[in-house]
A and B are shown apart, each in its own frame.
Chain A
């Protein structure tokens, strides 16, 4: 479904992503892990077009999309949620999701100008907020709600686009233990309903529990990939994590 070939980019002297090849199969739930600064976010940004790769190419459903702008990829059903929340701050949570739910209408400015009908988008947005468990804050402005709400709003906004491939960058960060577990279950459910998902997470317990396959990124390159428990048992993977922790200590 998605294929990245030889992807690379450097910031100043840092090779944040270096010659990464990866494939995501239709229908899978793949976990992408790696220590802080491994290049996970950068890799997602290269795949979705937020950043243009210095090397390599991206194919989505057989088409080369390396030069396709982000909004077109989103329209094709290839959606990313950012690690750092990016709400429309002056809008309510509901309005945030509504804009995405109306993407068929807002696709072309002139069509958007001709349409004032909010009802269908509103219903869908509200249903999504309910599904994410944040409908109680639907009418609160985004700048006034806690981070956990914004994280989930962001996922609701992504789902409103009815993505076929959803890339989630640390959706569980900032949630407490029960919230995280419930959210992880929701991700499994979405996947079962047919959405292909790539999940970047530091919550290793939850990723190994729900992911069908694990990819480990280290220093901008794929260090290991395969069945989650086997991957986590590998010595080089453990060393990669321990090395970072040792360096931080």
Chain B
């Protein structure tokens, strides 16, 4: 039972991570190759707070704010660079986070932060992760229906045209980065308390690529597709153990295959087969 609960918990966390990246890349059109850094920021910030004696709810909230705060900074950096260069900048953010954390004694350096208080049992974490995933799912569906979603679409499809009709392109990009990275911070906070241990390697480039692969496999921009992609890529390495040893290879290859043969991912397949567009 414990095994299934932990798989369910990770599926929930991955759904949160994938949907949060989808908000930035799928809705607002801003590439990000360093999303794991915000997952890590949320985890480290929450871990520090809990170790210092704050209740878990407060710690997780602080984790979200810290991740979102750095997300805003990244958003401002994103305003200064051209579209294709943004991939490199966000990848750089990921490496910067890792490099910084590895060298900080107060963050435990390579050993990370251990003995994080854990107030819930396995059922509690599974419920929390899945509840979080449902919340972010509902948020995504709402954003898509709201005027924010339409403005995101305008920014993603043609920034200059968006500006010329009065859309504050910079404001929307920063809002996307804030919402998306704060949600990643939520996943980080839950993760830190569940595992009671955070180490830098849990938030490395492979993790960023994994999150991106979930989004692309599911269908970038499609909320339901991305949920399916996240669940699928959580279960795959569980069923085929060898994947864990070749994650970068398998997910990188998967990314290329999907881009080449079905750029709209699972959502695109559903659209082709049933003629219906997923939300």
Cα of A50 to Cα of B161 in the assembled complex, Å: 10
A-side contacts of B157, CB under 8 Å: 88-91
A-side contacts of B164, CB under 8 Å: 48, 50, 70-71, 74, 79-82, 86
B-side contacts of A103, CB under 8 Å: 165-167
From B84-92, B117-125, B148-156, B245-253, the one touching the partner chain is B148-156
Cα of A99 to Cα of B148 in the assembled complex, Å: 10
Q: Does B83 contact A (CB under 8 A)?
A: no
The 4 closest A-B pairs by CB, nearest first: A86-B161, A74-B166, A112-B147, A109-B175
Proximity string of chain A (95-118) to chain B, C-beta cutoff 8 Å, 1 when within and 0 when not: 100111011011111111111100
Q: Contact: B143 with A106, CB < 8 Å?
A: no
Which residues from 148 to 202 on chain B have a C-beta closer than 8 Å to any C-beta of chain A? 148, 150-151, 153-154, 157-158, 160-169, 171-172, 175
How many chain A residues have a CB neighbour from B under 8 Å?
A: 39
Q: Contact: A161 with B172, CB < 8 Å?
A: no
Question: Given A74-B163, A116-B147: A99 and B168 within 8 A (CB)?
Answer: no
A-side contacts of B168, CB under 8 Å: 71, 107-109
Minimum CB–CB distance from B20 to chain A (whole Å) comes to 15
Q: Does A69 contact B (CB under 8 A)?
A: yes
Q: Does B145 contact A (CB under 8 A)?
A: yes
Minimum CB–CB distance from B74 to chain A (whole Å) comes to 17
Q: Contact: B154 with A99, CB < 8 Å?
A: yes
Q: Most chain-A CB neighbours within 10 Å: which of B162, B166, B169?
A: B166
Cβ-neighbour of B166 out of A86, A87, A113, A161 (below 8 A):
A161
A-side contacts of B162, CB under 8 Å: 71, 88, 99
B-side contacts of A161, CB under 8 Å: 165-166
Closest B-chain residue to A74, C-beta based? B166
| Other A-B pairs, 15, CB within 8 Å; known A71-B168, A88-B157, A116-B142 | A50-B164, A71-B164, A71-B165, A74-B165, A79-B164, A79-B165, A86-B161, A88-B153, A90-B153, A106-B148, A109-B175, A112-B146, A112-B147, A114-B146, A161-B166
B-side contacts of A113, CB under 8 Å: 142-143, 146-148, 175
Minimum CB–CB distance from B168 to chain A (whole Å) comes to 5
Which residues from 39 to 66 on chain A have a C-beta closer than 8 Å to any C-beta of chain B? 48, 50
Chain B interface size, as a band, is 20 to 34
Q: Contact: B148 with A109, CB < 8 Å?
A: yes
Minimum CB–CB distance from B113 to chain A (whole Å) comes to 34
Cα of A94 to Cα of B157 in the assembled complex, Å: 16
Q: Contact: B150 with A106, CB < 8 Å?
A: yes
B-side contacts of A102, CB under 8 Å: 147, 150
Cβ-neighbour of B160 out of A79, A86, A107, A160 (below 8 A):
A86
Closest A-chain residue to B174, C-beta based? A109
Question: Given A91-B157, A115-B146, A116-B146: A109 and B151 within 8 A (CB)?
Answer: yes
Q: Does A75 contact B (CB under 8 A)?
A: yes
B-side contacts of A108, CB under 8 Å: 168, 171
Question: Given A88-B157, A109-B172, A110-B175: A158 and B150 within 8 A (CB)?
Answer: no
Minimum CB–CB distance from B105 to chain A (whole Å) comes to 39
Cα of A87 to Cα of B160 in the assembled complex, Å: 10
Cα of A110 to Cα of B153 in the assembled complex, Å: 16
Q: Does A218 contact B (CB under 8 A)?
A: no
B-side contacts of A160, CB under 8 Å: 165
Cα of A115 to Cα of B190 in the assembled complex, Å: 30
Q: Does A157 contact B (CB under 8 A)?
A: yes
Closest A-chain residue to B221, C-beta based? A90
B-side contacts of A50, CB under 8 Å: 160, 164
Q: Contact: A158 with B165, CB < 8 Å?
A: yes
Cβ-neighbour of B158 out of A79, A87, A112 (below 8 A):
A87
Cα of A89 to Cα of B147 in the assembled complex, Å: 18
Minimum CB–CB distance from B60 to chain A (whole Å) comes to 22
